[in-house]
Amino acid sequence: MRAELDTLRVQSQYRTLTDSIPLAHGWIERHGKRMLNLASNHYLGLPHLLDETQLAAALGNAAGQVSTGSTASRLIVGNDPVFAEFEREFAAFKGTEGCLLYGSGYMANVGVISALVGRRGIVFSDRLNHASIVDGIVLSRAEHKRYRHRDLDQLERLLCAAEPGARKLIVTDSVFSMDGSLAPLKELVWLKERYGAHLMVDEAHSGGVFGERGEGLTHALGLTGAVDIQMGTFSKAYGCYGAYVAGDRTLIDYLVNHSRSLIYTTALPPMVVRAVRHNWRLACEAAEARRQLAANAAAFREALQTLGFDTGASECHIVPLLVGGNEATLRLSERLQERGIAAVAIRPPTVPEGTARIRFTLTAAHRPEDLQQAAAAIGESGRELGLIS
Ligand SMILES: *Cc1c(COP(=O)(O)O)cnc(C)c1O
């Protein structure tokens, strides 16, 4: 282990955990220093500090009691009534027959994919899909067909060549977390219908953000009835924890009977489900935050482009600054830290070779003037390193 850790250090790939303390207006404290937080997934900037009175009102049951643990799996005796209540409300919100809560988005992806396809199945997966999707495919033991990012021609060739009798699942992020690009959902629906496949969409970065009340990209594009499986997390725009799968009744019943990451794990604490419901209700009404988020993202992306940076295919609140080489990316991220900007350097194998980047995420809590100053500081750092002229 020591030798492997030393290798990581030499390759500048050694990771550590750093205390991060959230402050107001999208700022954060790290290493005792105030920084503009351009790495958070708390897209709507919902208030996430409750005082005692608010806590009881938001998280308590009818008797005002807050329950810290579920004491068992949902299938044993861990199914507090709040699960079914919230699942009904959330399914109505999504426009699906049913909904099922999971411990986290990671557990949902791993548990759904491994339940739906097995050894003789085939999963078609965009090569930029999230790691939890990849892990779900590995666990399912299905054949894994990766297609180039949003390459519908290649996907169609793979579907065409697949054994006709095999169970086929196409799975895609709706918003890609390293690029801020959007999945071509309409075209994917067309392909899945044409080739008799099922389609699963991961709304982790679009839930709360897209749609009039934050229903997600599938809903915003009017594709709710055509997408077989939607999943999403409550850990990003909703600022809490846990995840959902939404779809028809048969899907939900099937998962209750087959999904191991639902069956063999303790249910979320009821107070967490209540916190999720509290935040979801706020997020439904947060049209102004959605507008501010879109405005912040557009202004920031434009500022980087005007400086001469390449922001790739970004069309939303995730904005990459493409650098290319690993070393240059690391140097830029260090300069940004010195200038009080917290953003993540992303390198291969997380992204393809030669496309290392700094990944910025915007939130509705950011003040436009802070973002403008940040863009100017990023420009200065880029000039110092010779990345722009
Ligand atoms: C964050 C994320 C997940 C995992 O969700 P958690 O609730 O944090 O476990 C799954 N898919 C995508 C695309 C994500 O970005």
Least confident of 14-18, 109-113, 121-125, 146-150: 14-18
Q: What is the DSSP string of 325-367?
A: SHHHHHHHHHHHHHTTEE-EEE-TTSS-TT-EEEEEE--TTS-
Decide: 235 in ligand 1 pocket, CB within 6 A.
yes
Half-sphere exposure of 277 (CA within 13 A, CB side): 24
Domains in the chain, CATH or no CATH each: 18-44+287-384 (3.90.1150.10), 72-285 (3.40.640.10)
pLDDT higher than 90, residue 135? yes
Q: How confident is the model at residue 253 (pLDDT cuts 50, 70, 90)?
A: very high
The answer to whether the predicted template modeling score (pTM) of the entire model surpasses 0.75 is yes
**CA-107 nearest atom, ligand 1:** 9
CB 226 within 8 A of CB 217: no
Rounded average pLDDT over 323-333: 93
Q: What is the amino acid identity at position 161?
A: A
Distance 106 CA to ligand 1 centre (A): 6
CA dihedral for 322, 320, 347, 127, sign (positive or negative): negative
Dump pLDDT digits (tens) for 164-203: 899 999 999 999 999 999 999 999 999 999 999 999 999 9
Residue (of 181, 178, 232, 176) closest to 207 by Cα position? 232
Distance 150 CA to ligand 1 centre (A): 19
Distances from the Cα of 4 to the Cαs of 14, 136, 326, in angstroms? 10, 26, 20
pLDDT higher than 80, residue 13? no
Question: Residue ranges of the alpha helices (H) in the chain?
Answer: 2-10, 52-59, 81-94, 105-116, 131-140, 152-161, 185-194, 217-220, 249-258, 260-263, 270-284, 287-307, 326-338, 368-384
Alpha-carbon span 53 to 1, nearest angstrom? 48
pLDDT higher than 90, residue 279? yes
Active site residues: 177, 205, 236
And the tokens for 142?
A: 């299905």
Which uninterrupted H or E stretch holds 321? Answer: strand 318-324
**CA-177 nearest atom, ligand 1:** 15
For Cα atoms 328, 329, 335, give the angle at the middle one, nearest 5 degrees: 90
